[in-house]
Amino acid sequence: MIQFTLGMADILHATGFGIFRTRSLMNRPYPLTFTKRHGPKGGNATRFYRLSDILARCRQYRRFTEEMAQQLMAADAAHRKENKK
């Protein structure tokens, strides 16, 4: 599914939030708005989120800026471009 593109590492890097805040941000409000994908060798699945869900959740924090939103959009666009190939 190409609409689920952002992983936890992308969110951490773009927002600069700590791991605890990012985890609570992703798990508390809507725990079912993600998809899990396994890597090529199996193993634990990685959760991927939609850009629209991430932006809606991140905007509830005072420290979230438009620059962070642009970084999230850039990461989303990069993943979409990568997955089209």
pLDDT at 74: 93
pLDDT at 46: 79
> In order along the chain (85 residues), what is the average pLDDT of each group of 10 residues?
80 88 76 73 80 86 90 90 74
DSSP letter at 33? S
Which H helix or E strand runs over 38? strand 34-39
Asked if 40 and 47 touch (Cβ cutoff 8 Å), the reply is no
pTM: 0.76
Is residue 72 left, alpha or beta, with left meaning phi > 0 and alpha meaning psi from -120 to 50? alpha
